[in-house]
Amino acid sequence: MVTEAAPAADPSMIGTAHAAFRRDLARTRIVVAGGAGDSRRTALGEHVLWLMGALHRHHEAEAALYPLVVDHDPAVAPLVATVDAEHGVIAPAVGVLEEAAREFRDGADREVLLAALTGLDSVLLPHLEREEAELVPVAAGSLTDEQWHRWHQGRTAGTTTAAQRALEVHWLIDGADPGTRAAVLARLPAVPRVLHGLRRAYARRFRELWAGTPAARVPALTLQNHADWS
């Protein structure tokens, strides 16, 4: 039976997105460290660039959300300031990883990309944990259902096509538990026809990136199971 606990626990779905970022960063490290062949270089490099674009959009959405939380609970302002400052520290590490991904795609040694992954992990992973453990619970109790609905609409409006949004839905639910999958589909109902049509496209991307490697077994990495795969 599909649980309805997930939407109520995190109406922002920030934790769901974090689990997807952790999962793909871990998968990338596994494949690159294992000696990705030339056939995967382009796919891996392009995927890392897509992932960093998704992270940038994620931080922009958070920047629009957190002032609403402060309006409801001014006491959380120092925590929001800390999180905003961490975004500023993460941005340069993202830039380094993007450059390393381009170099790896074009034939550079894998150590460049592995070092850039380590650099991002060192600043991003503690930040994700802080947000989920300290800020998401406050946010979940601060906004009304209507405010959450408007925010979810705003985080995609004018930034991506229906096909891109559908592909991101498949990315979010990759390796997630049934309750999380139900929550994502309820919060981000991409056009059903487009969502179904992109299923094959996402499956093809999965095969190009992870199939035949230990990375294919890595699930969505939550705060609870991340240590098991780090």
CB 130 within 8 A of CB 86: yes
* pLDDT for 9: 65
* pLDDT for 198: 74
As for how many domains the chain has, the answer is 1
* pLDDT for 5: 36
Q: What angle do CA 53, 187, 203 make, to 5 degrees?
A: 55
CB 117 within 8 A of CB 28: yes
* pLDDT for 7: 42
* pLDDT for 196: 65
CB atoms under 10 Å from CB of 7, counted, come to 19
Could you identify the residue written with the tokens 């993202």? 94
CB-based contacts of 229, cutoff 8 Å, min separation 6: 26, 218, 221
CB atoms under 10 Å from CB of 149, counted, come to 13
* pLDDT for 10: 83
Range of the domain at 105: 5-224
Cα 186 to Cα 101: distance, rounded to the nearest angstrom? 34
Amino acid in position 202: Y
The answer to whether residue 230 is domain-embedded is no
Full pLDDT tens readout for the chain, 230 residues: 233 334 446 888 999 999 999 999 999 999 999 987 777 999 999 999 999 999 999 999 999 999 999 999 999 999 999 999 999 999 999 999 999 999 999 999 999 999 999 999 999 999 999 999 999 999 999 898 899 888 888 876 656 677 777 788 889 999 999 999 888 888 766 556 556 667 888 899 999 999 999 999 999 999 988 888 87
The answer to whether residue 229 is domain-embedded is no
Render pLDDT for 138-150 as a digit per residue (tens, 0 to 9).
999 989 889 988 8
* pLDDT for 111: 95
Render pLDDT for 78-102 as a digit per residue (tens, 0 to 9).
999 999 999 999 999 999 999 999 9
* pLDDT for 2: 32
* pLDDT for 153: 81
